[in-house]
């Protein structure tokens, strides 16, 4: 009987802690308007430069990223872009964060950088900096048509 009571209490504690953790992480944003704006401005030129030989120009890429995905453009981007990772590097003494987008292609890599105010960093990234006491955080970035699914 005692063992059954201990197991029941352990399960209740487990589910309470699990629910508390899930609610907290779900409420934190993985993006921010400042980062979204920077990516929207920087990514089309970088992708078009690398994929010009495949017939893509900046305007086509910008339209696809802006919510008007042409199937041919999407197909070319999906075929040649392996991954996009955003790195946030915090200077513990500064008020800004270095943000780097690493775009990996099948045949190379492009990097785009900027600096933004710490307050403009996504809430989930700030939480990582504070909770884990780290100076770097990494996030995968997906194309808008992938996130919509």
Same-domain check for residues 75 and 8: no
Same-domain check for residues 81 and 102: yes
Same-domain check for residues 78 and 8: no
Same-domain check for residues 64 and 119: yes
State pTM to two decimals. Answer: 0.74
113, 102 contact by CB (below 8 A) = no
Please state, in angstroms and as integers, the Cα–Cα distance from residue 101 to each residue in 22, 85, 123, following that order.
28, 6, 18
Same-domain check for residues 54 and 114: yes
Nearest to 52 by CA among 111, 105, 113: 105
pLDDT at 26 over 50: no
Same-domain check for residues 19 and 47: no
Same-domain check for residues 75 and 115: yes
Same-domain check for residues 5 and 75: no
The answer to which of 25-39, 84-98, 99-113, 135-149 has the lowest mean pLDDT is 25-39
pLDDT of residue 62: 92
Same-domain check for residues 48 and 2: no
Give the whole-angstrom CA distance, residue 142 versus residue 132.
Answer: 25
Nearest to 148 by CA among 74, 67, 28: 67
Domain that holds residue 17: 1-28
pLDDT of residue 40: 87
Q: Which two tokens stand for residue 81?
A: 């872009």
Same-domain check for residues 19 and 61: no
The three-state (H, E, C) secondary structure of 62-80, written as one string = HHHHCCCCCHHHHHHHHHH
Q: What is the rounded average pLDDT of the residues 82-105?
A: 92
Based on the structure, what is the number of domains in the chain?
2
pLDDT tens figures, 28-82: 557 778 888 898 899 999 999 988 888 899 999 999 988 888 899 999 999 999 9
């Amino acid at each position: 009987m005692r063992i059954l009571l201990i197991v029941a209490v352990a399960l209740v504690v487990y589910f309470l802690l699990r629910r508390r953790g899930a609610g907290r992480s779900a409420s934190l944003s993985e993006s921010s308007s400042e980062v979204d704006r920077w990516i929207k401005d920087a990514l089309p030129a970088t992708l078009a430069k690398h994929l010009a030989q495949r017939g893509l120009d900046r305007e086509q890429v910008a339209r696809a990223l802006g919510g008007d995905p042409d199937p041919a453009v999407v197909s070319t981007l999906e075929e040649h872009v392996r991954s996009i990772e955003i790195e946030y590097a915090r200077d513990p003494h500064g008020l800004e964060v270095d943000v780097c987008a690493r775009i990996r292609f099948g045949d190379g890599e492009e990097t785009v950088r900027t600096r933004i105010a710490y307050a403009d960093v996504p809430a989930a990234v700030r939480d990582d900096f504070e909770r884990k006491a780290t100076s770097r955080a990494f996030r995968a970035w997906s194309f808008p048509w992938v996130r919509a699914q």
